[in-house]
Amino acid sequence: MKTVYTFGGESDYSDPRQGDKTVTGGKGANLAEMASIGLPVPPGFTITTEESVRYLQDGQDFSDELKAEVGKALAHIEATVGKKLGDEADPLLVSVRSGARVSMPGMMDTVLNLGLNDRTVEGLAATSGDERFAWDSYRRFIQMYSDVVLGLDHGLFEEALEIAKEDRGFYADTDMEAGDWKELVAEYKSIAEGELGHPFPQDVTEQLWGAIRAVFDSWDSDRAKVYRRLNDIPGDWGTAVNVQAMVFGNMGDTSATGVAFTRDPATGERAYYGEWLVNAQGEDVVAGIRTPQYLTKAAREAAGAKQPSMEEAMPGAYGELARVFDLLENHYRDMQDIEFTVQDGTLWMLQTRTGKRTAKAALKMAVDMVDEGLIDEKTAILRVDPMALDQLLHPTLDPDAQRDVLTTGLPASPGAASGKIVLDADTAETWAGRGEKVILVRVETSPEDIHGMHAAQGILTARGGMTSHAAVVARGMGRCCVSGASAVSIDLKARTLRIGNRDLKEGDLLTLDGGNGQVMAGEVATIEPELAGDFGILMEWADQHRRMKVRTNAETPDDCRMARQFGAEGIGLCRTEHMFFDAARISAVRQMILAEDEKGRRAALAKLLPEQRADFKGIFEVMAGLPCTIRLLDPPLHEFLPHGDAEFEELANATGYGVDHLKRRAGELHEFNPMLGHRGCRLGITYPEIYEMQARAIFEAACEVASESGESVVPEIMIPLVATKRELELLKALVDRVAQEVFADTGTSVDYLVGTMIELPRAALMAGEIAEEASFFSFGTNDLTQTTLGVSRDDAGRFLNAYVDKGIFARDPFVSLDIDGVGQLVSLAAERGRATRPDIKLGICGEHGGDPASIRFCEQTGLDYVSASPYRVPIARLAAAQAAL
């Protein structure tokens, strides 16, 4: 197999491996492709990624084959350009750049102007007729080569340049004349020799192999390794090396260099967009030493800038560039991000790649390109990253506003929010009630904080991971949330907090960015989301192409309404416990829990029945005939109990029990490991009256709404945390009995289903048997992940980051399903469930139901639907379509 491919000149592009990014890297494949369609690309060659992998495995040795191939490929460049590397009269200069399969910006090494030494620099000065240019290029080369290849501290060279300018009373590099650069070159060489103990390499072949070696080695540099870990890039891909004839944008006023996009990457507008600089080399544009100029006249005028645009200053080269833009878009059928150089009036292309873009631009371009006939609807659907839609559905911070960042936590729920700091849920509710915007800051949140979370603009917690209570609930409500910000410490007594080294107090202004986890002092301006027409169009296309239904996890009529606006086709999970925390009800709930016997419990439950019935009525009305899965009570009872003396006293007053009695009862309910304790269907088994009340409330509400609206209402009653068929058998019998009672009492009846969550490994394994009792399964992958991995979802935040950093998990398994492990249980349960009951309805309602990679797995497993929190519904719709294509 070939180890080196040439491009430009008389190259032959017939080997498909050359266009394969896995072989020649992104940059190499695209350079060859541009050259093959006739675009002006300086000739060069690409050493394959395979060769870099071999080099690193073989103890950093070059193979003989590689040496021979590089020799031939270099001859190709020399023949095409008509110059030779190392020729003292007319030297060829080359660039040596890395290029992995995916771009890893700034992570690996580049050497420019290679081929200069004490003699070729004179040749370059003579052939270019520009002595200053030649010596400037040589000093740039020594500096870059010393840093990248020889490992010398680049600060030494920068310091020498600063001193040289100071000595001469110069301010800018452009003040330096040929003689000044020449003197600096002598200085640079003596610095290098002092550090190395031998002279700076004058042999150009040694220079070339040194640079190739440095690029190979840079694949395993520390910063590249960290980048790979953060971006899920496997360590065995390796990088290609691209060696290419240099073209110079710094040869006077007819030369230039620039970067450009074929469309505006921020808005998606169909307008050329970019920056360029006259008489400059590539790195000058990005380095920010000189202010780049606009590409088009229109952009310059819009900005009110004086410096001429490229369109005005170099109409010939600009016209050529515009032609290239159109060719590139027609060829790649996507927006391109390019680098170009103009050498003495002639345009050269140095790079093209698919351009990064904002979510808004991605949508606009996808829809526009279908209109323009460049791509079809399916391609458009695949073009938009579902997760990026999140940016569009929430308010975001004004990108131009100043940020005073105090710390960064986990971006648990997107959006942005500013408000006054409040330290508990009741204060949040009170302050919000008088019209103030508040940010609820807690060590962690519990179900009792729900009302405060609802009242707040945003939530900040010191503890907890991406599926901590705060994160799940905030995403569900569409509240922005930053969790696990461990630099936050709270003094509840003093009503103050410390974030990093800054002291704050309740009432101070704080801003959160749920998109990146930043916590900022003061108020930062936000921009409201704009659900433009493109969003609706793309969503419609997605809906036509997906197989799975998309439901929502919601428990209030408001959330249901929101979810329906986002396109939800039913409720996949209504967590009834959230309905119990309402201030007006919690006391009846507590009475029920604290009651000594069944009679006491039934009395308290009777008070809750009409409230629950009203809850379900509200939901059925909004959902208007769409399927609604309602889960009976799940959390351990102790979660509803009072904390702190004041709350115990309040409860004592409300119930007539003494504080001591209440505390004793609370002590009895204490559990060491409540997540594996008295919760889920175990509550229904031991206190059947709780589930009876809930089932009654559901059926009464369903019958009422059905007879009032004439619509069919089909509740799907779901039993949580089932491990055995017998549990479900007992509880299904209970639900069926209550249904018959209600139907008899009301004289109305509705169809209904009884099913179960599959959220314990045993349930997954025994799914075949459990399906005898269940009309549907809903995979509760939050608990299934927790119980399969034996990792507490509420405590994982403390160590999971380290696990991801060390590559133990590719991603947080509470965010993206562990397909290899937990996924096996899901597929196996689906298979066994269907074997018993071929028409069993299968869905997922864990947080993974809103994660695109997990949704792809659900499609492959043949689930009927995914269920996600309201703001994730559009993400799930798009991801489900992508998975089906």
Residue 484 Ramachandran class (φ > 0 left, ψ -120 to 50 alpha, else beta): left
Q: What is the Cα 296 distance to its own chain's centre? A: 33
Q: How near is the Cβ of 675 to ligand PEP at its closest, in Å? A: 9
Cβ of residue 564: shortest distance to Mg ion, in angstroms?
Answer: 24
Q: Nearest approach, Cβ of 731 to ligand PEP (angstroms)?
A: 17
Q: Smallest distance from the beta carbon of 845 to Mg ion, in angstroms?
A: 8
Taking CB under 5 A as the binding criterion, the range among 429-437, 697-705, 783-791, 877-885 that sits at the site for Mg ion is 783-791
- For residue 511, the cross-strand partners are 418, 520
Distances (CA, A) of 306 to 283, 292, 293, 672: 23, 12, 9, 72
- The site map against ligand PEP for 823-862 (x = CB under 6 A) is ----------------------xx----------------
83, two tokens: 């110059």
Span interacting with ligand PEP, options 156-164, 269-277, 449-457, 778-786, rule CB under 6 A: 778-786
From the candidates 394, 454, 469, 848, give the one annotated as an active-site residue.
469
Q: How far is the CB of 883 from Mg ion (least distance, A)?
A: 24
Q: Find the binder of ligand PEP among 103, 446, 516, 782 (CB under 6 A).
A: 782
The H helix count followed by the E strand count for the chain is 35, 33
Stretch that binds Mg ion, among 132-140, 298-306, 309-317, 751-759 (CB under 5 A): 751-759
Annotated binding-site residues for substrate read 575, 631, 759, 780-783
Distance CA 479, CA 460 (A): 11
Q: Are 783 and 803 in contact (CB under 8 A)?
A: no
Q: What minimum distance in Å lies between the beta carbon of 814 and Mg ion?
A: 12
Phi, psi of 793 (to 5 degrees): -65, -25
**3-state DSSP call for residue 69?**
helix
Q: Is 714 exposed, middle or buried (0-12, 13-18, 19+ CB in 10 A)?
A: middle
Q: State the Cα–Cα distance between residues 290 and 282, nearest whole angstrom.
A: 12
- Does residue 847 bind Mg ion (CB under 5 A)? no
* Binding residue for ligand PEP, selected from 257, 781, 787, 869, defined by CB under 6 A: 781
Binding residues for Mg(2+): 759, 783
Q: How many CB atoms lie within 10 A of CB 742?
A: 21
Residue with tokens 């729920």: 413
Closest CA to 348 of 317, 325, 322, 383: 317
Contact 581, 447 (CB under 8 A): yes
Which has the closest alpha carbon to 282: 341, 353, 324? Answer: 341
**Residues 770/772/776/780 CA torsion (nearest 10 deg):** 0
131 binds ligand PEP (CB under 6 A): no
In terms of Cα–Cα distance, which of 246, 244, 241, 245 is closest to 214?
241
Q: Exactly one of 628, 681, 703, 845 is catalytic; name it.
A: 845
Residue 846 binds which entry of Mg ion, ligand PEP, none, CB below 5-8 Å type-dependent: ligand PEP
* Least distance in angstroms from the C-beta of 846 to Mg ion: 7
- Candidates 125-133, 436-444, 648-656, 778-786: pick the segment binding Mg ion (CB under 5 A): 778-786
**Bridge partners for 526 per DSSP:** 397
Q: Does residue 469 carry a catalytic annotation?
A: yes
Name the binder of 51 from Mg ion, ligand PEP, none, CB < 5-8 A by kind. Answer: none
Catalytic-residue membership of 845? yes
Question: Closest residue (Cβ) to Mg ion?
Answer: 783
* Residue 573 C-beta: closest distance to ligand PEP, Å: 6
Residue from 97, 182, 575, 725 touching ligand PEP (CB under 6 A): that is 575
For residue 460, which of 398, 392, 521 has the smallest C-alpha distance?
Answer: 521
Q: Which stretch binds Mg ion (CB under 5 A): 88-96, 511-519, 522-530, 774-782?
A: 774-782
DSSP H stretches of helix in 231-358:
282-287, 297-303, 310-313, 315-332
Which of ligand PEP, Mg ion, none interacts with 845 (beta carbon under 5 to 8 A by kind)?
ligand PEP
CB closer to ligand PEP out of 550 and 651: 550
Q: Which does 94 bind (CB under 5 to 8 A by kind): ligand PEP, Mg ion, none?
A: none
Give the annotated binding-site residues. Answer: 575, 631, 759, 780-783
What distances in angstroms separate CA 512 from CA 415, 425, 440, 502, one per listed residue?
8, 18, 11, 16
Task: With CB under 6 A as the rule, give the number of residues binding ligand PEP.
Answer: 10
Q: Taking CB under 6 A as the rule, does residue 573 contact ligand PEP?
A: yes
Is residue 499 within a helix (H) or strand (E), and if so which, with residue range?
Answer: strand 496-499
**Would you give the DSSP letter of residue 870?**
G
The candidate with the shortest Cα–Cα distance to 450, out of 276, 339, 585, is: 585
Mark 30-69 with x for binding to ligand PEP (rule: CB under 6 A) and - for no binding: ----------------------------------------
Would you say 678 and 671 are in contact if contact means Cβ atoms under 8 Å apart?
Answer: yes
Identify the residue among 390, 424, 700, 783 touching Mg ion (CB under 5 A).
783
Site string for ligand PEP, 733-772 (x = CB under 6 A): --------------------------x-------------
Pick the stretch among 46-54, 345-353, 725-733, 775-783 that binds ligand PEP (CB under 6 A).
775-783
Residue of the chain from 419, 570, 780, 850 that contacts Mg ion (CB under 5 A): 780
Are residues 721 and 703 in contact, defined by beta-carbon separation less than 8 angstroms? Answer: no
Q: Verify binding: residue 783, ligand PEP, rule CB under 6 A.
A: yes
Please list the alpha-helical segments (H only) found in 710-862: 725-746, 761-765, 767-770, 781-789, 800-805, 822-836, 852-861
Q: Does 679 contact ligand PEP by CB under 6 A?
A: no
Among 579, 574, 558, smallest CA distance to 627 is for 574
Pick the stretch among 29-37, 572-580, 613-621, 758-766 that binds Mg ion (CB under 5 A).
Answer: 758-766
- 187: tokens are 């200085």
**What are the phi and psi torsion angles at 752 (to 5°)?**
-155, 160
DSSP letter for each residue of 103-168: --TTTS-EEEEET--TTHHHHHHHHHT-HHHHHHHHHHHHHHHHHHTS---HHHHHHHHHHHHHHH
Closest approach, Cβ 318 to ligand PEP, in A, equals 57
Nearer to ligand PEP, 260 or 757 (CB): 757
Catalytic residues: 469, 845
**Interface contacts to Mg ion, rule CB under 5 A:** 759, 780, 783
Binding site for ligand PEP (CB under 6 A): 573, 575, 634, 759, 780-783, 845-846
